[in-house]
């Protein structure tokens, strides 16, 4: 039987209960993915059997330099 997951006013139905994450953690991960931008990573760090940290790595493309010099 599907269960409901509700966080921040949104809800989804899951085919089985969550075993590791809480609805609040799912919402926090979603927020981190939204904020990381077009280039980046979101990593979950598990310690002592529980998800303890979210690490965000953001990358930006450097402006191309030296194009004038190459001509």
Q: What is the pLDDT of residues 23-51, one digit of tens each?
A: 899 999 999 999 998 889 999 999 998 99
Residue 42: which of 54, 31, 34 has the closest Cα?
A: 54
pTM exceeding the 0.75 threshold for the entire prediction: no
Residue 1: which of 12, 14, 18, 10 has the closest Cα?
A: 14
> Percent of the chain at pLDDT above 90?
37
Cα–Cα distance measured from residue 29 to residue 42, given in angstroms and rounded to the nearest whole number: 8
């Amino acid at each position: 039987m599907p269960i409901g997951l509700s966080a921040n006013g949104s809800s989804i139905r899951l085919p089985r209960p969550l075993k590791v994450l809480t609805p609040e953690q799912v919402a926090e991960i979603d927020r981190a993915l939204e904020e990381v931008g077009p280039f980046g990573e979101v990593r979950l760090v598990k310690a002592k059997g529980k998800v303890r940290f979210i690490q965000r790595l953001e990358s930006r493309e450097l402006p191309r330099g030296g194009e004038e010099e190459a001509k």
